[in-house]
Amino acid sequence: DNGSDLISPRPGAAIQKDRATTHPFYHELQSPSVPSFGPADWVTTVRAGLVAALAWHVMAPRLPAATTCVTLAFAAAALDGVDGWVARRTRYASAFGARFDMETDALLMMVLSLLVWRYDKAGSWVVASGLLRYGFVAGGAFFFKQVGGRTPREAARLRSMFRRSSG
């Protein structure tokens, strides 16, 4: 890199690029040896479509039969095991795919908690279980913002500690 990418017609573009490349998950999501969208990611995309169909039922004015929601949820949960198997079998496992899978899982949990609430099977407190992942991400964003004023070594140590605790 000769620094020529720091010259940009847009003011602040170099700063934005620097922020993007120093984000804690930037390097984790970059994998030049693995294509960005492999066969397992397509399985996860199908799962995301099933979750989207479930989410539509949350917002529908009239709730469908519970068997419809259970069938969609079961299919999405069953495919959760398939995408990891496909990634390992085809050797297309990537950080992007793992992240995509994890976020789809979190969204499924959120939608299921909303459906349980809408069907009056539990109180509104059940929605908190679906919000746990998003609260964790928000806490992580706050944590990384707090790391900003530390020395690079301290910040790296804290980031490493946070990543290990987050699985």
Confidence (pLDDT) at 15: 44
Q: Is the dihedral of CA 83, 54, 73, 120 positive or negative?
A: positive
Distances in Å between the alpha carbon of 49 and those of 9, 75, 100? 39, 11, 13
Contacts of 66 (CB under 8 A, 6+ apart): 119
Answer yes or no: is pLDDT of 11 > 70.
no
> Cα(88)–Cα(80) distance, rounded to whole angstroms?
13
Report residue 41 as tokens.
């990611």
pLDDT tens for each residue of 96-110: 888 888 899 999 999
Residue 79: closest CA among 53, 97, 105: 105
Identify the residue with better confidence: 147 or 59: 59
Task: Indicate the average pLDDT of the chain.
Answer: 76
